[in-house]
Amino acid sequence: MTCPSEFILAQHADGELGVESARGILEHVDGCPNCRNRVDGLMAENRLLVQSLQEAVVDAESEPVDGVAPAAPSLFWLATTVASLALCFRTAFGILFGFEMPEAVAWLDPSRLSGQLNLLAEALTYGARDAAAMAASAVNALGFTVLWAGALVAGLWLLQRRRGAAFVLGGLMLALASPLPGRAIDVRTDATVTVAEGETLDDTLIAFAESITVDGVVTGDLIAGGQVVIVRGVVEGNLVAMGQRLEIAGTVRGTVVGLGQGIDVDGAIDGDLYAAGESLVVGDGGRIGGNVVMAGADASFGGAVGADVHAFAARLDVSGEVGRDLTVYGDRVVIQAPARIGGDLEATVADEDRIQVDPGATVVGETTIELHEEEIGPSRFATVSFYVGQILRLGAAVVAGLCLLWLLPAFKGVRLDAPRDVLTAGGVGFLAVVATPVAALVAAITIIGIPVAIVAIMAWILGLYLSKILVAYFVGRALLKSGDDSLGSTVLALLAGLVLVAVAVNVPLVGGVINVLLVVIGLGALLVTAYRAAVSRRESEAV
């Protein structure tokens, strides 16, 4: 046999040949002293090169250059990126829209104390009305959540061991083999998706297309995303739709969640309606059996709503029937004859002249009008309550940050001092902020997915809260230029960073944008650091 070339022998020494090729080379090397010597020399050269590189890396990481300590984290790239994006977004919003968020719907901002208090008040109102049913539902949901969380933790622990992995795999196979109620799923993606008249689709339909039309019957749920979504037939389950225009002229037996520029309802919705968009129109023939919660610029109710209506709109016109209470936050409210409100009317507007109730309209309950006049008094920065609130938030954030760093020390190594780190964290954080609630909503459509959705939303909310705390810890370490991990240094770094972050998010004009950017970047850094820590742990265990 002819001796292999130097290149083939080098590939063999590096372990880059396939099994069959390597076996042939080994057989030749065993009988050829010359080739054996060459392979031994190449392998010795490889070992020397690897050892030299490892020593160089260790020296570079552990030995200070010319007696100088390792550089502390730098704030330059983080501050530059956040400030530049904030200015760009703020300028773009000003050019495109030319106005600030109306004070009438400012309560939707959960970062404001007023928004948090309003949400709490609304939750207490609903709780007092249906306390028993809500308590039972909460107990069931909590039980499912605890069981699923316990199963997840146990599964992750058992998967670290071979016997445990086999046990978990067997349990999953048994669970999948058990008969569970459910429907099949039909996924359709095309320019046009149509369920024709007379056609019955005995599945849950997930459709993404430019135009989606349902003239027949869908016995399961309908999850649709497209420019136009039209339902003229029957959807026996729930409807989740995102698009430029959503039209419901048929019947939806379950709940409707709609997100689009224009939403028109001229058919029947047996469940609740949750809508967000530029306009919502419930025509004279429209009927909604449950509650309506909507947010948009304009809303018009000409049909019948069986329960409550909560509307957050610049203009609201009501000429139909509301079975129970009507609560509206907006700029102008018009209750036209022959409208009938079976409960209370609660309106929050800028001025009493902005609400009009025709004499021919009927309000069975009480009418309450609250004003949200713009503050003309002293700035919030000149009030004691503002600083008291900031101090309380700082104290709570320091405690939360200490708990996070104590339970998960890997987060002490968060890095945001390079453009790549900031952009990576921002991209991952944006996906997590946007995708998590959407995935949880899709999971919650099926009963078996409700516990997963609850756990996902709870983790999402916790991550949003901890995101700025993690950024603040990085900022504090960079300011103090200290690598000490003692309790005192950690507290000081958290406090210094949180103070600087609090100042940044309260800067006029761009403070709100900076707040959002820090949340997105912080959440991404949280996920990236956790992922890197998990990979490092697996590699160390493998070694």
Contact 219, 199 (CB under 8 A): no
Residue 347: inside a domain, yes or no? no
Say yes or no: 454 and 406 in one domain.
yes
Q: Which pLDDT band, with edges at 50, 70 and 90, does 122 fall under?
A: very low
In a domain, 71, yes or no: no
Residue 218 lies in a domain: no
Residue 166 has pLDDT above 80, yes or no: no
Q: Is residue 538 part of a domain?
A: yes
Is 60's pLDDT higher than 70?
Answer: no
How many Cα atoms sit within 13 Å of 90 on the Cβ side? Answer: 17
**pLDDT band per the 50, 70, 90 thresholds, residue 363:** very high
Cα distance between residue 284 and residue 316, in whole Å: 15
The order of strands in the sheet holding 234-235 is: 200-201, 217-218, 234-235, 251-252, 268-269, 287-288, 304-305, 321-322, 340-341, 362-363
Per the CB < 8 A criterion, the answer to whether 335 and 322 are in contact is no
Q: Which residues pair with 247 in a beta bridge?
A: 230, 264
Token pair of 517, please?
């950017």
Please indicate, yes or no, whether residues 60 and 92 belong to a single structural domain of this protein.
no
Half-sphere exposure of residue 68: CA atoms within 13 angstroms, side-chain side: 6
- For residues 495 and 533, state if they share a domain: yes
- pLDDT above 80: residue 299: yes
38/132 same-domain check: no
Cβ atoms 86, 509 nearer than 8 A: no
- Which of the residue ranges 53-62, 341-350, 364-373 has the most confident prediction, judged by mean pLDDT? 341-350
Q: What is the DSSP-derived secondary structure letter of residue 409?
A: G
Sorted by sequence, the CB contacts under 8 Å of residue 259 that are 6+ apart come out as: 241, 242, 243, 275, 276, 277
- Position 290: which residue type? G
Q: Based on the fold, state whether residues 395 and 534 are members of the same structural domain.
A: yes
Distance, CA of 149 to CA of 100 (rounded, Å): 42
State the chain's maximal CA–CA distance in angstroms.
110
Query: How far is the C-alpha of 238 from the C-alpha of 251, rounded, in Å?
Result: 11
Between 292 and 160, the higher pLDDT residue: 292
Please give the backbone phi and psi of residue 148, each rounded to the nearest 5 degrees, phi first. -70, -40
Q: How far apart are CA 213 and CA 192, in angstroms?
A: 8
Do 460 and 384 share a structural domain? yes
Q: Are 14 and 8 in contact (CB under 8 A)?
A: no
Does residue 128 share a domain with residue 24? no
Confidence band for 229, pLDDT divided at 50, 70 and 90 = very high
pLDDT digits (tens, 9 = 90+) for 423-462: 888 888 888 888 888 787 777 766 667 778 888 888 888 8
d(CA 231, CA 249): 6
| 154 and 29 together in one domain | no
Kindly tell me if the per-residue pLDDT of 301 is higher than 90: yes
471 in a structural domain: yes
Instruction: Say how far apart CA 211 and CA 252 lie, in whole Å.
Output: 19
Q: Which of the listed residues 150, 181, 212 is the one where a domain comes to its end?
A: 181
Is residue 130 included in any domain, yes or no?
Answer: yes
What is the length of the chain? Answer: 543
Q: Is residue 134 one of the residues assigned to a domain?
A: yes
Write down which residue in 65, 84, 113 finishes a domain. 65
Distance between CA atoms of residues 82 and 7, nearest Å:
51
Q: What's the domain range around 54?
A: 6-65
User: Does residue 287 belong to any structural domain of this protein?
Assistant: no
Q: What are phi and psi of 231, to 5 degrees?
A: -120, 105
In which band, very low, low, confident or very high, does the pLDDT at 218 lie, cut at 50, 70 and 90?
very high
Return the structure tokens found at 166: 């086999």
Measured CA to CA, the distance from residue 290 to residue 473 in angstroms comes to 46
Angle, alpha carbons 55-59-61 (nearest 5°): 120
Last residue of a domain, one of 141, 163, 181: 181
Q: Is the pLDDT of residue 215 over 50?
A: yes
Q: Are residues 42 and 90 in the same domain?
A: no
Residue 339 pLDDT > 90: yes
What are the tokens at 188? 């359709």
Q: Contact at 8 Å (CB) between 493 and 482?
A: yes
Rounded to a whole number of angstroms, the distance between the first and last alpha carbons of the chain is 40
| 400/519 same-domain check | yes
Is the same domain home to 384 and 488?
A: yes
Average pLDDT, the chain: 75
Burial of 70 (0-12, 13-18, 19+ CB in 10 A): exposed
Split into its structural domains, the chain has a count of 3
pLDDT tens-digit readout, 389-415 = 888 888 888 888 888 888 888 888 887
Give the SS3 label for residue 119: helix
Q: Residue 378 has what pLDDT? A: 64
Q: Are residues 93 and 105 in the same domain?
A: no
CATH number for position 47: 1.10.10
